[in-house]
Amino acid sequence: MRVQCPQCGSGGNVPDEKIPAEGRKIVCPKCKTTFLAKKSATAATQQPARDEINASYLEGVQLLKNKQVDAAIRMLTDVVRANSKHQEAYRYLGLAYGQKNLWDDAIDVLQKAVTLKPDDLLSLKNLGIALLRQNRFEEAERVLEQALQYAPEDENAQSYLNMAVRGRQKAQPAEEDDAEHALADLTRDERDDEQELATLTASSSASSSKTPYNPAQEYLNKGTEFLENGQLNKAAEMFEEAIRLAPESSDGHFGLGMVYEKRQEWKKAIDAYQKAVAINPNDLLAKETLKFLKKQRKKFRWPWQKG
């Protein structure tokens, strides 16, 4: 923020966070005049607005995880209306539209996500899948080639690219079985290395005949079902068993974090999300949830409380 001495006209910049809402007394280094510097009404409201938008974004993602897709679409749409540069909101809005088979809408918002962040691998792959579902094979081919530039070893992206090439060559829709397999990625049933939606949905990959038997995934699926039905004790048991069977996976810890969050056991929730992030540093959703919980916990802590 730019401040200027009313006496001698000397001025300088002060970081916004250094000036509270009620203003700050500043001593001019040149003429020693003391004056009050206050933020403009616009500047004073910017930070609360950003916090409000971020809280709405996290709520939208939570709704999506809980399979409340219509509510998630409404919430995330409000976020991008308030902040047209909110890249992550476009990403998850694309996922939500994909779950409703609204492919044109999914393509529109995923293109915006990729424009804002060209190396967003998850959005690139899901954009490619949405284009495949609309038989726009040449466009899908270009998008998936772009994804492979950022992740040359990504087998899923390569598989979808092969589908796009076959579709273009045959000038007909991709095989139904392949299309259903592709949809699994859009609904986050396949756990790719980003694991951005953690336990959003987990039914398709466990039931697919192409997927090897995975006992840990079964417990994650059951835990998610119990969580959605409000059976928190049973959900916790399922996630704990998933952790025992697959300690190298962050999903069980993320699930426990959601259980503790619903119980309002904030310290345990933070610990669980921290473990998820420690196992998978690329889990952006766990990172954002952890950051939000820490901020809220600090915000409402009494002065005499520790930790």
Three-state SS across 113-178?
HHHHCCCCHHHHHHHHHHHHHCCCHHHHHHHHHHHHHHCCCCHHHHHHHHHHHHHHHHCCCCCHHH
pLDDT bin (cut points 50, 70, 90) of residue 306 is: very low
Distance CA 14, CA 41 (A): 17
Contact call for residues 98 and 129 (beta carbons, < 8 A): yes
Does the 215-289 domain belong in CATH 1.25.40.10? yes
CATH code 1.25.40.10 region(s) in the chain: 45-170, 215-289
Top-confidence residue, 21 or 95: 95
pLDDT computed for residue 39 by the predictor: 66
pLDDT computed for residue 29 by the predictor: 80
| Tens-digit pLDDT profile for residues 160-218 | 888 888 878 775 544 444 544 444 444 443 344 344 443 333 333 333 333 344 567 77
Does the 45-170 domain belong in CATH 1.25.40.10? yes
Top-confidence residue, 294 or 240: 240
Residues 6+ apart with CB under 8 A from 132: 140, 160, 163, 164, 167, 174, 179, 182
| Tens-digit pLDDT profile for residues 11-69 | 777 776 677 767 778 888 888 888 787 766 544 445 547 778 888 999 998 888 888 88
pLDDT at 103 over 60: yes
Share of the chain above pLDDT 70, in %: 76
The structure's pTM equals 0.48
When the pLDDT of each residue in the chain is averaged and rounded to a whole number, the result is: 77
Top-confidence residue, 5 or 306: 5
Q: What number is the average pLDDT over the span 134-152?
A: 91
